[in-house]
């Protein structure tokens, strides 16, 4: 166990790393997943490690899309399962979405470990494991294209946090409405999705659950209006403007730390 001082400036970030390392030791997180997390962390550092306004707007659109869906599916990989298992389960409960394991580096052991991890956090059913991943989506190679015929194959809205660009593109070509959570506004996934929540999955998932609860009772017309007003390109541009303004502002300050 790490002993991180409470006033450590990167305390939260170090605790998140511990969760991933823990997940790695349990066979839930792939070694490549640890590296992918580092790419995300870098963007989080630049974003100020806070949920920004453009993320809140995307979360609202994401909640509306999930509530309007006939067959919403939450696609889960090792990192997401290790970081926010309780919120995956809550989101599924609140929205009626199904949970499907969908791995970039698929092994039978890892998908089973992820399924057990989610079940132990209260998930009722976890699709996409073993024989259940019997359908294939075109244009992807080998194990990466296997999906559940009860899940992603027939889904209309798919939430794919921390997804790879190839697969996001494949989902779009299949006509899915794709929602992602990705800290990098420049990734292919961020730029291909219909709704991109540019935020850390550990902050975005609880907020998404809360938003789904809040919007649940609303008229379908109100939800449709939220989506028709929403423009993902504007969100991506705003995130980049935020980053560039923040860096310019920081660059005009005294940065040296005196100890
Ligand atoms: P793409 O394939 O979409 O172009 P990429 O190849 O740059 O993206 P991948 O490793 O395929 O990156 O996808 C992982 C994505 O998840 C990265 O964009 C990374 O920034 C993001 N990411 C990693 N950890 C987190 C996190 N905790 N919260 C949100 N996003 C994260
Ligand atoms: Mg990639």
Which of 9-13, 56-60, 221-225 comes out lowest in average pLDDT?
9-13
Using the mean position of ligand 1's atoms as its centre, give its distance from the Cα of residue 181 in Å: 9
**Ligand 1: does its nearest atom lie under 6 Å from the Cβ of 162?**
yes
What ligand is nearest to the CA atom of residue 32? Answer: 1
Any known ligand binding at 220?
Answer: no
- The answer, yes or no, to whether any atom of ligand 1 lies below 6 A from the CB of 165, is yes
The whole-number pLDDT of residue 221 equals 98
Q: Which residues contact 42 (CB under 8 A, 6 or more apart)?
A: none
Q: What digits encode the pLDDT tens for the residues 83-105? A: 999 999 999 999 999 999 999 88
Q: 208: closest CA among 41, 99, 61, 44? A: 61
CB of 182 closer than 6 angstroms to any ligand 1 atom: yes
pLDDT-derived band of residue 6, with 50, 70 and 90 as boundaries? confident
Mean pLDDT value of segment 222-233: 98
Residue 17 marked as a ligand binder: yes
Instruction: Check residue 103 and report its DSSP letter.
Output: -
d(CA 67, CA 58): 14
Look up the pTM and report it: 0.96
User: What are φ and ψ of residue 106, in 5° steps?
Assistant: -80, 125
The DSSP bridge partners found for residue 159 are 74, 179
- For the stretch 25-38, pLDDT in tens is 999 999 999 999 99
Q: Is 182 a residue whose pLDDT tops 70? A: yes
Ligand 1 centroid to Cα of residue 106, in Å, is 17
Architecture of the domain made up of 53-241: 3-Layer(aba) Sandwich (3.40)
110 marked among binding-site residues: no
Q: Report which bound ligand comes closest to the CA of 190.
A: 1
Q: Is 184 annotated as a binding residue?
A: yes
* Atom in ligand 1 nearest the alpha carbon of residue 35: 10
């Amino acid at each position: 166990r790490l002993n991180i001082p409470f006033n450590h400036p990167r305390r939260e970030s170090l605790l998140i790393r511990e969760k991933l390392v823990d997940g790695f030791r349990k066979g839930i997180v792939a070694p490549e997943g640890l590296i992918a997390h580092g790419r995300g962390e870098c963007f989080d550092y630049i974003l100020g490690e806070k949920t920004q306004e453009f993320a809140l707007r995307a979360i609202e659109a994401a909640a509306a899309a999930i509530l309007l869906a006939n067959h919403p599916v939450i696609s889960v990989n090792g990192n997401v399962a290790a970081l926010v298992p309780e919120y995956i389960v809550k989101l599924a409960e609140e929205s009626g979405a199904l949970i499907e394991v969908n791995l970039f580096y698929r092994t039978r052991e890892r998908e089973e470990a992820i399924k057990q991890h989610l079940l132990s956090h209260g998930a009722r059913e976890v699709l996409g494991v073993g024989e259940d991943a019997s359908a294939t989506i075109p244009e992807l190679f080998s194990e990466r294209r296997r999906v559940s015929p009860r899940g992603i194959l027939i889904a209309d809205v798919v939430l794919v946090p921390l997804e790879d660009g190839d697969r996001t593109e494949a989902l779009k070509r299949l006509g899915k409405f794709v929602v992602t959570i990705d800290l990098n506004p420049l990734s292919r996934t961020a730029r291909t999705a219909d709704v991109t929540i540019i935020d850390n999955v550990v902050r975005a998932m609880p907020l998404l659950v809360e938003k789904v609860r809040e919007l649940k009772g609303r008229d379908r017309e109100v939800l449709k209006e939220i989506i028709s007003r929403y423009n993902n390109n504007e969100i991506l541009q705003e995130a980049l403007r935020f980053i560039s303004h923040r860096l310019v502002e920081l660059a005009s300050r005294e940065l040296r730390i005196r100890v």
